[in-house]
Amino acid sequence: MDRYELRRQDYSLSEDQTELQAAYVKFFKTRCSLEVVRAAEPAGFDKNLWEQLCGTGATTMALPESVGGDGATIVDLTLVAEELGRAIAPVPWIDHVCAARLLARLGALSAGDSETADVVEGRQLVVLDPRVDAAAGLRLIPSGSIADHVIVRDGDEIVRLSFDTRPAKVDNIGRLPMAWVDPGAADRRTVLAAGAEARAQYDRALDEWRVLTAAALVGLVEETMRVAAEFATTRYTMGVPISTLQGISHPLANIAVVVNAARALTRRASWFLEFEPDFQPGLAAAAFVYIADEAPKAATMAVQVQGGLGVSTESAASAYLLRARGWPLAAGDVGASAAQVAERFAAAQA
């Protein structure tokens, strides 16, 4: 029997992974209330929360031991991402760890180097352009307004851009620290690598970004379901909770199905991406496309369950709905990721 045959069908968590997720459940629950999220909306970023998150080792764990990290797998990282999404935390952890891991694979980080330590520990923020269909020229980068370095693909080259003055934040539905970044206007432009292998490493970074974002959306959708279900069990009509009505209970059950299916697909995608990246190369994009499509629908239903309260600007449901719609758009046209799923699975069957 292939040593991976059983594991391909079993994505349950180990005891260590369960403890890891529990630690970040507690962290975000105690440090990232909805009030913290709301207060960070003008900038799209809470620097204090970011420093506290880095203090837990959330950035260090994501990097290989060869550059001073802890060597966590993508499977481990999805557990942190899920809790980040559940709290809709205003921190660019996914962008940073995917970009930093790319730098490590390209040999741009060195153990013992002070700049490397700053990246590994999150003092220097690096982000990437997660769009599959990124073209040359001006780019809309999800965390571009707060980044110290932006990693982009420019033709056959992987380039690090740095700016003395960070680009201005662009308002967006996902409340992200987005900014237009012009590679030609960078104060410093460093070519990190070029050629087919460099492009392959960047594609790997995009897959990591998509699977971690998918995990974050799973947590986000599950929390919207919890908020809606809690409301439905405490509101009565004709002497019974509205949760007993089929028009409420069935849509909530559908959201539960989405959560379970998306979590299973995301964990499967992360496992293959980590251990057998060539076996089912379209899974990471498939997980992202599935939850990117389902998250806005689920969050919309959660808002509708609460009626007029749900659409009020101060409600939790509306905050989650905005991010359910906005976070997937950081990757540009989701259709480009869907097309890539088809291309990769077709190539695997050829």
pLDDT at residue 132 in the model = 83
If 0-12 CB within 10 Å is exposed, 13-18 middle and 19+ buried, where does residue 345 land?
middle
Question: What would the two tokens of residue 220 be?
Answer: 């986000």
Residues contacting residue 308 through CB under 8 Å, at least 6 positions apart: none
Is 229:222 a contact under the CB 8 Å cutoff?
no
Question: What single-letter amino acid sits at 12?
Answer: S
- CB of 96 closer than 8 Å to CB of 63: no
What confidence score (pLDDT) does residue 7 get?
55
- Average pLDDT taken over every residue of the chain: 91
Q: Is the pTM of this model over 0.85?
A: yes
Spatial distance between the Cα atoms of 101 and 108, rounded to a whole number of angstroms: 10
Please report the beta strands in 293-345, taking only residues with DSSP state E, as ranges in sequence order: none
Quote the CA–CA distance of 138 and 182 in Å, as a whole number: 4
Tell me the Ramachandran region of residue 149: left when phi exceeds 0, alpha when psi lies from -120 to 50, beta otherwise. Answer: beta
Q: What is the DSSP secondary structure assignment for residue 169, as one 8-state letter?
A: B
Q: 3-state SS of 268-319?
A: HHHHHHHHCCCCCCCHHHHHHHHHHHHHHHHHHHHHHHCHHHCCCCCCHHHH
Task: Give the model's pLDDT for residue 108.
Answer: 92
Per-residue pLDDT tens over the stretch 220-248: 999 999 998 888 888 877 778 777 788 88
Structure token digits, residue 214: 């998918």
List the domains of the chain with CATH numbers.
199-349 (1.20.140.10)
Q: In the chain, which stretches have pLDDT less than 70?
A: 1-9, 134, 308-311, 350
Compute the distance between CA of residue 93 and CA of residue 85 in angstroms, rounded to an integer: 11
Pairing of strands 149-154, 188-194: unpaired
3-state class of 205 per DSSP?
helix
pLDDT score, position 1: 41
Strands (E), the chain: 126-128, 139-141, 149-154, 157-162, 179-181, 188-194, 236-237, 240-241
pLDDT at res. 339: 86
Q: What is the number of residues in the chain?
A: 350
Report pLDDT for 280.
Answer: 82
pLDDT given for residue 46 in this prediction: 98
Distance of CA 166 to the CA centre of its chain: 23
